[in-house]
Each structure stands twice: as structure tokens, then as C-alpha cells.
A = this chain, B = another copy of it.
Amino acid sequence: MQEAQFISLLWLIGIIAEAMTGALCAGKKQMDLFGVVIIGCATAIGGGTLRDMMLGNYPLIWVENVHYLIAIALASLLTVVIAPVMRYLSKLFLAIDALGLAVFSIIGAKKTLALGFGPEVAVVMGLVTGVFGGVIRDILCNQMPLIFKKELYALVALLTAALYISLKSYGISEWANLAICLPFGFGLRMLAIRFQWGMPKFDYQYGEVH
């Protein structure tokens, strides 16, 4: 298997995991099946779509290859079918989501570099790709974005993207880079969930913000 195919495979796992988080969130709000599909799609491709729109990089991936959308829609509907057993699979599910986070951050950074942008922009876009699908999901479900309150999530995306870019700048092979960054991002996220590591909170309750 080529390295590009391996990344594509991981990316598919990632978008399916993200679609499932979107579908479950829609289910918590008792949406209908169409809402489930739309929120599943927005969660899975929202981060990458926002990145490409901010970079002016057209056509968007799912416009060029609309079969991804169909796969995501099916994954969203499948989530409805298997929902009764999802709660017994919650640890597996968290693991797949953590893998998706690491993969999305790496892909976001890699694509941005490939478009000729500098490493700082690539770190930002790794972060955007990794976390904004979930932010868009939470906006569509009318709830506060979870990733700004819970265990390390955005920081994992940022550090994974930064590590990938740093190692790449030293000329390390793509396979070796993935072999380091994927376990790093995945492991950091899993440890954060296990030990409830979070960033310090900012609690500001005075006065009026305009």
C-alpha cells in the first residue's frame, strides 16, 4: 500500500467517525433522518470545507468526488440503526474519534503545505480541519461547542499538526512521520480522556460584554 492510500484509508475512517458523532448529536436533539444526514455530513466534511474555502482552494473535495458525501450519508443513517448498541461501544467509538482527530490534523497540515503555504498557516489549518467539523455540528445542534470546555481536543490537533510539520521540515520520510504523529495525536487524546486532562478554564462573570 502506498502512503497516500494509507492516509486516504485513515481519512475515510475519520470522516465516518465524525459523521457518527454528528448523527448521535442530531439524535440527542430528536431530529429527523434528514437532519441526521445533514448534520452527519456537516460534521464530517465541515472542517476540511472551511479550510479549503479559507484558502480559496477549489473545487472542494466532496464537490470533486461526491461519492464521499454518499458514504458519509450512509454512515449517518447506519448510526441510527446501530444506536441501541452504541452505548456499549462508547470506548471503541471514542478511540475511532481520537484517530480521526489525529488524521484530520495531519491531513489539514499536509494539504496546506502542498498548496505552498508556510508552516504557521499549515498548523492553523491542521487545527481547523481537526476541530471545526465538531464546532459546526454543535452550532447546527444549537449547543455550546463541546471542544472548548472538555478534555484536550483542539490542543491535540494543534500539537499533532505542529509535530508533523516540524518532522517534515527535517526531511523525515512520510511513513516515519505518520508512524510518529498518528500514535502521538491518538495517544494524547486517549490519555486526556482517561485522566480528564483539560486546559484551564476562564470564568468571567462580571459586567456586560458588548
Contact = CB atoms under 8 A, between A and B. Distances in A.
Given A28-B204, A63-B117, A148-B39, A33 B199 contact: yes
A194 interface: no
Nearest to A53: B53
Interface residues of A, number: 72
Contact of A142 (B143, B154, B204): B143
B204 A27 contact: yes
Nearest to A128: B38
Interface of A: 21, 23-36, 38-39, 49, 53-56, 58-60, 63, 66, 69-70, 80, 83, 86-87, 90, 94, 97, 117-118, 120-121, 124, 135, 138-150, 153-155, 193, 198-210
Instruction: Give how many copies assemble into the complex.
Output: 3
| List of 10 A-B pairs having minimum Cβ-Cβ separation, nearest first | A35-B148, A27-B204, A56-B58, A32-B199, A66-B120, A31-B148, A27-B202, A87-B206, A34-B154, A142-B144
A83 B204 contact: yes
A26 to B, nearest CB: 6
Contacts of A27: 202-205
Given A32-B199, A148-B34, A63 B69 contact: no
